[in-house]
Amino acid sequence: MIGPGYANVDLGLQKNFPLTETMRLQFRSDFLNLFNHPQFAKPNGDGVINTTQDARELQFAFKFYF
């Protein structure tokens, strides 16, 4: 059996903030499955689709360089 199509958009953004000549702070954000499009699994032997992939996931991080 052929299942439904798969459409996924991931986005990552980052911004660097210089503090001194040798130190900086970086803010990073990642958006996985940005548009929260449902990702259905392949049908089982009976032709029923009963599972999906994970929904939208957001991640935020700070990184300090020295």
Distance of CA 37 to the CA centre of its chain: 12
Give the count of beta carbons closer than 10 Å to the beta carbon of residue 33: 19
Rounded to whole angstroms, how far apart are CA atoms 65 and 27? 11
| Phi, psi dihedral angles at 24 (to 5 degrees) | -150, 160
Q: Per-residue pLDDT tens for 25-39?
A: 999 999 999 999 888
Q: What is the pLDDT along the chain (66 residues), one digit of tens a residue?
A: 677 888 889 999 999 999 999 999 999 999 999 999 888 888 888 888 888 888 999 999 999 999
**Cβ contact 33:9 at 8 Å:** yes
pTM over 0.85: no
